[in-house]
Amino acid sequence: MTDPSKTSKPVPVSSARNGYLNTRTLTVGGVILLVLLVAIFVPW
């Protein structure tokens, strides 16, 4: 999966790594929130 921002303009390695980590953190946070919402709203 290619990132269009990397192809449009050159970015420092540190900035690219930080952006990747931030995106990964947001994705993991979103998944955790979805799991919590499902656990709350779906009766087991």
Closest C-alpha to 2, from 14, 28, 20, 18: 20
Residue-level pLDDT at 39: 87
The predicted pLDDT at position 18 comes to: 63
Q: Examine residue 4 and state whether it is found in any structural domain, yes or no.
A: no
Taking the model in full, what pTM does it have?
Answer: 0.47
Residue 38 lies in a domain: yes
Query: How many structural domains does the chain have?
Result: 1
CA–CA separation, 9 and 13 (whole Å): 12
In a domain, 9, yes or no: no
Residue 30, domain member (yes or no):
yes
Give Cα separations from 40 to 7, 10, 28, 31 (angstroms): 41, 44, 18, 14
Q: What is the pLDDT of residues 1-44, one digit of tens each?
A: 455 444 455 555 566 666 666 788 889 989 999 999 998 887 66
- For residue 1, what is the DSSP state? -
* Full residue range of the structural domain in which residue 44 is found: 14-44
Looking at residue 15, what is its pLDDT?
A: 62
